[in-house]
Amino acid sequence: MTLPQPRPGIMDIAIYEPGKSQVQGARRVIKLSSNEAALGPSPKAVAALAGSLGESHRYPAGDSGEVREALGKAHNLDPARIICGAGSDELLGLVMRGFAGVGDEIIHTAHGFAMYNIYAKGVGATPVVAPEKDLTTDVDAILARVTPKTRIVFVANPNNPTGTYIPGSEMRRLRAGLREDILLVCDDAYAEFVDAPDYESGFALASETENTIAMRTFSKIYGLASVRLGWGFGAKNIVGVMERIRSPFNVSRPAQFAGLAALADRDHVARTKAHTKKWLAIGLQRLRGLGLKVGESHGNFLLPEFPKVPGKTAAECDAFLQENGIIVRRVDGYGLPNHLRVTIGDEEEMTVLLDVMAAFMERK
């Protein structure tokens, strides 16, 4: 008997591994492995989510029209050029399906989001990795890897898991150096956390060009990771392609209601940003004080590097944290075996985390 066989290359794809959420035997778990919002969702979003459940038998608005209108108003963007998805992950997949295929190449940076590679292989395209410079996107390295087969370039800005960013001038230099038929995807999942004066979200380039799209998500600063809501802004020709291949009713009714409420609660977003900024600074100071190498982060997480010394390695620290009911993210799969990615949690979680990490680094 011959069973159904997958397309060539599918079984070569490594399954994406999300951050762990449980520790066996732990009575209480502090989960700091998935870059979730430290203060959770807006209470108004929670109320909207609950209120929507009574109409669960109704299909949602297929075009997410109200959400697109609200996003356009909030960011001064044309709603007709906005597309919503079940998280920005879905939209990244739509971009890949719409603009790349067998024989094509896509470029992403060495420590970029793992799904770029997975989605590329899923459509039969070849992922090409551009090295980073000091854990930061290197525009020249990307341009050097462009070939006649290149169709898409993905740049997360700021990047996960490194927390680094490139200024608007560098993103514009990248766009100018790419052929017109190459789509530039600006993955701005952490843009709301950035305060750097030279940072520029992908909205500007997406507004000015017909070959750039910017992606955002409600999973991070808005705290709606589980309801799955993301959005993209680009030229009508790009969005039109994605609309043709997205699933009908791809954004659930609860997600749309929660998203509208979260977007309107600016005070909650401001509190989340202020809390994150405060604990990024505290965490950076404390971890550096323990002798760890830690760069500044422009997301909602830190990436300490551990020494290759027995008893002090990243793997051993991860095991010690789990023994104490704390989960952070191993980033070996991103080519960073000596690092751990630590999400900023609430005040109690961060206090416990930093004390436990200090106990690990100070133990004999």
> Which domain CATH number covers 293?
3.90.1150.10
Same domain? 248 vs 277: no
Indicate the residue among 214, 234, 265 that finishes a domain.
265
Same domain? 82 vs 132: yes
Q: Name the DSSP class of 305.
A: B
In this predicted structure, the answer to whether residue 363 has a pLDDT above a threshold of 90 is no
Question: 120: domain range?
Answer: 43-265
Answer with the residue of higher pLDDT: 115 or 23: 115
Same domain? 66 vs 124: yes
Give me the pLDDT at residue 23, please: 67
In this predicted structure, the answer to whether residue 124 has a pLDDT above a threshold of 90 is yes
Indicate the residue among 250, 265, 280 that finishes a domain.
265
- 65: which residues sit within 8 A by CB, 6+ positions away? 79
CB 284, CB 276: distance < 8 Å: no
CB 173, CB 140: distance < 8 Å: no
Same domain? 172 vs 276: no
pTM value is 0.93
**What is the per-residue DSSP string for 106-147?**
EEEETTS-HHHHHHHHHTTPEEEEEPPBTTB--HHHHHHT--
Same domain? 233 vs 345: no
Same domain? 28 vs 61: no
**Residues above pLDDT 90, as percent of the chain:** 91
Same domain? 162 vs 302: no
Indicate the residue among 265, 283, 299 that finishes a domain.
265
Q: Tell me whether residue 37 is in a domain.
A: yes
Q: Which residue has the tokens 């044309």?
A: 78
Q: Tell me whether residue 3 is in a domain.
A: no
As a whole number of angstroms, the distance between CA 96 and CA 91 comes to: 9
As a whole number of angstroms, the distance between CA 4 and CA 200 comes to: 47
Q: List, for residues 221-253, the tens digit of each pLDDT value.
A: 999 999 999 999 999 999 999 999 999 999 999
CB 361, CB 291: distance < 8 Å: yes
In this predicted structure, the answer to whether residue 91 has a pLDDT above a threshold of 70 is yes
Same domain? 178 vs 64: yes
Span 78-101, mean pLDDT?
A: 97
Same domain? 224 vs 274: no
CB-count burial class (<10 Å; 0-12, 13-18, 19+) for 349: middle
Show the CA angle centred on residue 180, arms to residues 201 and 112, nearest 5°: 45
CB 35, CB 133: distance < 8 Å: no
Same domain? 253 vs 282: no
Q: List, for residues 25-58, the tens digit of each pLDDT value.
A: 667 899 999 999 999 999 999 999 999 999 999 9
The 10 Å CB-count burial string (b at 16+, else e) for 194-227 is beeeebbbbbebbbebebbbbbbbbbbbbbbbeb
Domain count for the chain, please give it.
2
As a whole number of angstroms, the distance between CA 123 and CA 351 comes to: 44
Average pLDDT along the chain: 95
Answer with the residue of higher pLDDT: 19 or 188: 188
Q: List, for residues 285-323, the tens digit of each pLDDT value.
A: 999 999 999 999 999 999 999 999 999 999 999 999 999
